[in-house]
């Protein structure tokens, strides 16, 4: 009998975990980061506060996990690698654009970004828990492209990530232009081939 209990408990835990992550995304979009509380999330998710504290040390940590789960649907441990760097980057960036079209995600992400602009500690947590891990996945894909001869050997990967993924973030955050698939395709093509004339 005890051999059956373990999977049930695991399933119940996973259900609770998903409910908490979903509640965190929805609540931060509704009330903003300063008013987001572990109590509020526990209430919305139908779990006890202690359940949340057992898994996350702070509301920031919980929220960044929620974004990771939302963005990756829990399965994106790597960027696609078909061998065609431009095509793979376009797939990823088009998916990002589609995500940002989702009002729930848009609201939650804006609530978080507003806070990061002024809160040094949250910015550091963003860096270590969300931006950092995502950046590693991107750099892994770019390293593979370097080995395949599709990316110049001497390219600084930190700067490359900023050039490829920054424009979409900016355009979304500051509403400086339409966020379309065409736009991200242009960013990828221009970043790869460069702005200077090719000989």
Q: How many C-beta neighbours within 10 Å does residue 97 have? A: 18
Instruction: Please say which residue, 68 or 114, places its beta carbon nearer to a copy of itself.
Output: 114
Distances (CA, A) of 124 to 41, 61, 114, 118, 197: 23, 11, 14, 11, 39
> Whole-angstrom distance between the N-terminal and C-terminal Cα of the chain?
73
- Out of 33, 64, 70, 126, point to the residue binding a copy of itself (CB under 8 A): 126
103 lies in the site for a copy of itself, by CB under 8 A: no
Q: Is 162 left (phi over 0), alpha (psi -120 to 50) or beta?
A: alpha
Which residues, 6+ apart, have CB-to-CB distance to 171 below 8 Å?
A: 177, 179, 183
Which residues, 6+ apart, have CB-to-CB distance to 114 below 8 Å?
A: 32, 33
Q: Contact letters (x/-) for a copy of itself, 132-171, by CB under 8 A? A: -----------------xxxxx-xx-xxx-xxx-xx-xxx
- Out of 4, 54, 120, 147, point to the residue binding a copy of itself (CB under 8 A): 120
- Out of 4, 54, 147, 175, point to the residue binding a copy of itself (CB under 8 A): 175
Element (H, E) at 27: helix 2-31
Instruction: Please say which residue, 45 or 108, places its beta carbon nearer to a copy of itself.
Output: 108
- Out of 110, 137, 140, 179, point to the residue binding a copy of itself (CB under 8 A): 110
Interface with a copy of itself by CB under 8 A: which residues? Answer: 110, 113-114, 116-118, 120, 123-124, 126-127, 131, 149-153, 155-156, 158-160, 162-164, 166-167, 169-171, 173-177, 183, 186-187, 190-199
């Amino acid at each position: 009998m005890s051999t059956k209990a373990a999977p049930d408990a695991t399933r119940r835990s996973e259900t609770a975990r998903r409910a908490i992550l979903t509640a965190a995304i929805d609540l931060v979009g509704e009330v903003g980061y300063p008013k987001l509380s572990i109590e509020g999330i526990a209430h919305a998710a139908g779990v006890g506060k202690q359940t949340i504290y057992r898994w996350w040390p702070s509301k920031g940590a919980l929220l960044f996990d929620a974004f990771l789960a939302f963005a990756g649907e829990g399965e994106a441990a790597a960027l696609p690698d078909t061998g065609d760097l431009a095509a793979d980057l376009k797939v990823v960036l088009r998916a990002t654009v589609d995500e940002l079209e989702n009002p729930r995600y848009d609201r939650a992400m804006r609530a978080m970004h507003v806070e990061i602009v002024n809160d040094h500690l949250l910015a550091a947590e963003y860096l270590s828990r969300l931006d950092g891990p995502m950046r590693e996945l991107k750099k892994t894909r770019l390293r593979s492209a370097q080995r395949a001869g599709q990316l110049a050997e001497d390219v600084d990967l930190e700067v490359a990530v900023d050039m490829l993924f920054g424009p979409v973030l900016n355009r979304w955050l500051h509403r400086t232009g339409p966020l379309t698939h065409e736009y991200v395709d242009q960013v990828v093509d221009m970043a790869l081939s460069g702005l200077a004339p090719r000989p």
